[in-house]
Amino acid sequence: MSDTPAGSLYVVATPIGNLDDLSPRAARVLGEVAVIAAEDTRHSGRLLRHLGLSRPMLSLHEHNEAARVDQLDARLVAGQDVALVSDAGTPLISDPGFVLVRELRARGRRIVPVPGPCALVAALSAAGLPTDRFLFQGFLPAKGGARRERLEALAAREETLVFYESPHRIRDTLADLATTLGERRVVLARELTKAFETFLDGSADELLARMEEDSDQARGEFVVMVAGAAPRGDAESSAVEADVLLSALLAEGVGVKQAAAVAARVLGGAKKVWYGRLQALKDGH
């Protein structure tokens, strides 16, 4: 048995856009490890060149991660330190690395986090939505039916909902949010820490309209944050308040369609649901 102390796996967070966000500790670790396991060696190679570093690298992505475990473990057993990085942000957060960390921890290896940029945390910190509790769901399903089913399953959750989304599906996702969650507040964080970083705030329908007016707002990578459902304990009082508001709108002569839009804005939920309730109230007069 070798007396050489086992090495450590360093899970290193890297910039999500602005290279100045790399911590001095992360830069030092990347310059000292024996090898860097990277989601894309070409992408991470550019970061290393920016830092003036040259270290051996090997690829570690969703298709080869399981096969890399023994290879990297052998390096650790030999006393070498290894760094794990993804293309951007913190590894394992909707990125490869979970299988490696799980297996190495099961073997008793030392895993060291080197914290830093993370898109979901950065987005939440500037969104103005509740952050005492949030539910991160990564990327929603690519197909519309499965995506709507997932959103419907989350509709009653009271935590702020957080998703990642690509520019190819952001419009479809907003449309499904409007259908399933109605007029809830949505905040989109686009191109975080990059030159065209933007936060858009409004209902899903309003954000879709913004993208129709300015197609540039649909470009880039997104963090989608949605206000949670009203607390269940407030359901009874909310129902009474809703009936009072709906009756008042009708009494003032507001049309059913316009009243439904007002109710959705004030109380949340889908306009079509309020339209049905208003129509029922009107027919009952």
Chain segment 249-283, per-residue pLDDT in tens: 888 888 888 888 888 777 766 777 788 888 888 88
Per DSSP, 98 falls in state H
Token duo for residue 119: 């898109």
Q: What is the DSSP string of 195-242?
A: TT-EEEEE-HHHHHHHHHH-GGGG-S-EEEEEPPPPPGGGHHHHHHHH
pLDDT tens digits, 164-207: 999 999 999 999 999 999 889 999 999 999 999 999 999 999 99
Q: Render pLDDT for 202-238 as a digit per residue (tens, 0 to 9).
A: 999 999 999 999 999 999 999 999 999 988 655 555 6
Concatenate the DSSP letters of all residues of 122-173 into one string: HHHHHH-S--SSEEEEEEPPSSHHHHHHHHHHHTT--SEEEEEE-TTTHHHH
Domain ranges of the chain: 8-116, 120-226, 232-284
Cβ–Cβ < 8 Å for 129, 225: yes
- The answer to whether residues 157 and 132 touch, using CB atoms and an 8 Å cutoff, is no
Cα–Cα distance, 211 to 193 (Å, whole number): 21
Q: Is the dihedral of CA 21, 24, 30, 31 positive or negative?
A: positive
* Per-residue pLDDT at 1: 47
Q: Which of 59-68, 134-143, 239-248 has the lowest mean pLDDT?
A: 239-248
Instruction: Return the pLDDT at 190.
Output: 97
User: How many Å is the Cα radius of gyration of the chain?
Assistant: 24
Q: Residue 285 pLDDT > 60, yes or no?
A: no
| Exposed/middle/buried for residue 240 (C-beta within 10 Å: 0-12, 13-18, 19+) | exposed
Q: Residue written as tokens 């051996």?
A: 56
CATH of domain 8-116: 3.40.1010.10
The whole-number pLDDT of residue 284 equals: 73
Query: What value does the mean pLDDT of the chain take?
Result: 92
State the pLDDT at residue 163: 98
Pairing of strands 82-85, 57-59: unpaired
Q: What is the pLDDT of residue 120?
A: 97
> Looking at residue 39, what DSSP letter applies?
S
The pLDDT value given to residue 197: 97
Confidence at residue 280, expressed as pLDDT on a 0 to 100 scale? 84
pTM score of the predicted model: 0.81
**φ, ψ for residue 144, nearest 5 deg:** -55, -45
So what's the pLDDT on residue 250?
85
Q: Of the given ranges (31-40, 70-79, 240-249), which has the lowest mean pLDDT?
A: 240-249
Distance CA 100, CA 251 (A): 64
**Structural contact between residues 75 and 34, judged by C-beta atoms closer than 8 angstroms:** yes
Instruction: Report whether pLDDT(4) > 90.
Output: no
CATH code assigned to 120-226: 3.30.950.10
Q: Using an 8 Å Cβ cutoff, are 260 and 226 in contact?
A: no
Q: What's the rounded Cα separation, in Å, for the pair 32 and 17?
A: 23
Tens digits of residue pLDDT in 62-103: 999 999 999 999 999 999 999 999 999 999 999 999 999 999
